[in-house]
Structure 1
Amino acid sequence: MHEGHGFSTLAIHAGQEPDPLTGAVVPPIYATSTYKQDGVGGLRGGYEYSRSGNPTRTALETCLASLEGGSHGFAFASGLAAEDTVLRALLAPGDHVVIPDDAYGGTFRLFDKVASRWGLDYTPVPITNLSAVTACLTESTRMIWVETPTNPLLNIADIAALADLAHRHGAILVVDNTFASPYLQQPLALGADVVVHSTTKYIGGHSDVIGGAVIVDDTELAEPIAFHHNSMGAVAGPFDAWLTLRGVKTLAARMDRHCDNAEAVAEFLARHDAVSAVHYPGLGSHPGHDVAGKQMKRYGGMISFRHAGGEQAAVDVCDRTEVFTLGESLGGVESLIEHPGRMTHASAAGSALEVPSDLIRLSVGIEDVDDLLADLRRALEG
C-alpha cells in the first residue's frame, strides 16, 4: 500500500490485499502450524512453521508497521510479551534502563520482578522532567523507556526531546504508544527508535483479544527483535491476529469518538465539587497540555481523577457506576472504570510507582456521551 495514502486507507488496506485465489477482501485465518515445501528448503512465500511466520500475522504486522511509519512490525501474544522481547533482544545483563515513575503496573513488575533477576538495572524517574532523566543516566544506560500519556496519571513525555537526549548518550528510546494509538501519535517520526503496543487496547478496540506489537524503522534493531520473536516464541496466533486486524480497520473512527467523549467527561469532572484533580492532557490546566498538543493529533480517551473524599469514596464511585463497567484494561468501545491502587497498579504498591489511593481511572468508550455524564454524576453524588 502506497505510503502517500491516508491513515484510514492504510488501516483498511495495508497488508490486506484481496486474496489472489478467491478475491476475498478479508485476509483468511491461516489455521495451520506447518506448510508444504516445494523440495527441501523450497518455501512457498517464505513460510515453513507458524511460530516463524503465518500469513494472517504477516498481514497484521504489515498494517501496524505502516500505521506507525515503520518498516518492520512484529505481532505478539500480549503487550507484556512484546515488552519482554524488546528487553531481551536489545539489552544485556548489567545494562541500565530509565523508566517512568508512574509506569503501568505490569511494566514495572516486568522490570522489578523479572528483568532484574536477569541482571537488568532500572531507575524510575519523573519522565516529564528532562533534568531528572539526565541526572540518572549512567555509563551503562542503554535505554530510556517512555509511556506517553503515562498509565495511570496521564503525564506527557516530550518524545523528541527524550529521543535527542537518549541518542546523545548512546542509548535508544522506546515508546509505549498504547494510550495514544498510532492514530493520535507516531513516535518514530518524533525520533523514537522502538514503539511498543498492547494491541489488546485501542488497536483491537473491542475487548475480545489479547495481543502486543513492536514496530521499528531500523534494520539493525529489527534483526535482533525478529530473532528473539521467533526464538522466544510469544507470537500472536492467527485468530488473534485476525481479530486485531479486524479491529484496527475502524481505529480512526473510534479514536475520534473516544476523544470527543473524553473531552466532555474531563470538563464535567473538572467542575465537580467531589473531584480534587483531573488528569487529562486535553485540559488547559494539565502541565503537559502544550507538549501533548505538539506531538498528538488529539488528547485520547483516557482520564484519571482524584476523589476529594479519599480512598473509600473513590472505591464507592467505582462500585456505583452502571454504564461505566468496573473492570481492568482499556481502549474498548465500552467505557470502563477502575481503582488503579487496588487493581491494575496493585503490583506497584509500596514502591516508587505506588499510585494515589484516591485515584480513579476511566477508559471513556464510544457510548452516547450524555449517558456517560449522567452515570458519573449519579456515582459521584451517591
Structure 2
Amino acid sequence: MKNNQGRWSRYFVICKPYLAMISLQFGYAGMNILTKFSLNHGMSHYVLVVYRHAFATLSIAPFALILERNLRPRMTWLIFMQIFVLGLLGPVIDQNFYYAGLKFTSPTFSCAMSNMLPAMTFVLAIIFRMEKLDLKQIRSQAKLIGTLVTVAGAMLMTLYKGPIMHMVWTKYMPVRPRESDSATDDSSSENWFMGCIFLIIATLAWASFFVLQTAALERYRAHFSLTTLICLMGTLQAIVVTLVMEHKFSVWSIGFDMNLLAAAYAGIVTSSIAYHVQGLVIQDKGPVFASAFSPLMMIIVAIMGSFILSEKIYLGGVIGAVLIVAGLYSVLWGKHKEDKEKKQMEAMEIPTAMKEAQGVMEPDDVVEKATANNRIILTLERKPITLPMNENLI
C-alpha cells in the first residue's frame, strides 16, 4: 500500500508542471472570450488593464503578507529595476498591445499568433545564454527549424486571410448577430494588418517577460511577494498610460456588468494566479517549457469562440496554425532531448562527486563520463602521473 502511495506521489510530482500549465490555458481561453465581449461593448482596453491588475494586486497581496512575512529578501536597486521592467513588459506593453490586436482581429486569431511565444522565448533565451545551440546536434537543429517554421506560420496568418472555413460544430447552429463585427468582417485590411503587428509586439513583450522573470526569481525567491510587486507596479504604470491616452473621465466608469466580470476574471485568474504558477514552473522547468502550451489555448478558444461569439475561422489561420504547432513541437522535442541528456550527465556525475567527497578516488583513477552524444570516453584526473622511461602511455 505504501509503495502504491509513493508511486502515485512520484507521478503527481512529475505531472504537476504539465497540469499547472494546461489549467492556465483554460484560464487564458476564458479571458480571451470575456475580454473580446467586453471590448466589443465599448470598454477601453487601457482602463481594462488598470482594473485587471488592481484586482490582481488585491487578490495576491494577502498571501504575500501572511505566508512570506519572514521570507522576503532585502529589496535592492537591481531587484527593483527588474520588477519595474517586468511591470512594464507584462501588464503595460503586452496586454495593451494584445487587447488592441484582439479588438482588430478575433480571439482565435489572437491565440494563434500567441503561438509564436515559445519560438520568441527560445531565441531570447539563446541571446541571454539560458539555452545552448549546437548546430551539430540533432536536438539543436530541431529547435532551430521549429523556430523558423513557427515564425513562417505566424507570417502566413498575418499576410493571408483566405476563404471562410465552415466547422462541423457551426454547420447546424443559427447565426447570431453581433453588435460589432468590426474586428472580422467589416474591418479594412489596414486594421487587420495593424492588429497583427500589435499581437506580434505583445508576444515579444510576453516572451521578454518570461526570460526576465527567470532572472528575477533567482534573486527574489518570495514568489507571492514578487507577483504582488509586479502587479502593483503594473497597475501604477497602467494608470499613467491610461491618463495619457484617455482624456475622458467617463471611460473609468464601470458597473456590475460584463466589464467588471472581465476585469475581475482577468486580474485574479490570468494575472495573479498565472504569474505565480508560471513562476514556479519556470523555476523548475525553464522559460521555454512554460511557454510551450499556447496551442492548447488556441484550440479551446476556437471552439468557445464559435459557440459563444459565432466567430468565423479562415483558411489562412488554419494553415498558419498548423505550421505554428508543427514548429512548436519540433522545438519541444529538441528541448526534451536536451533535458534528458542533461539528467543523464548529472546522474553520472553524482557518484563521482560522492567518491571525491569521501576521499575514495585515487589520483590516477579512471572516470567514466557520458558526453552529449551518449558516447563514453575515458579521462584521467589532472594530477600528473610519473611513469618509468621505458613505458608508453596508452
Which structure has more relative contact order (CA 8 Å, sep 6+)? It is 2
Provide TM-score, normalisation by structure 1. 0.27
- Indicate the structure with greater strand content: 1
Higher radius of gyration, 1 or 2: 2
Provide TM-score, normalisation by structure 2. 0.27
- Indicate the structure with greater helix content: 2
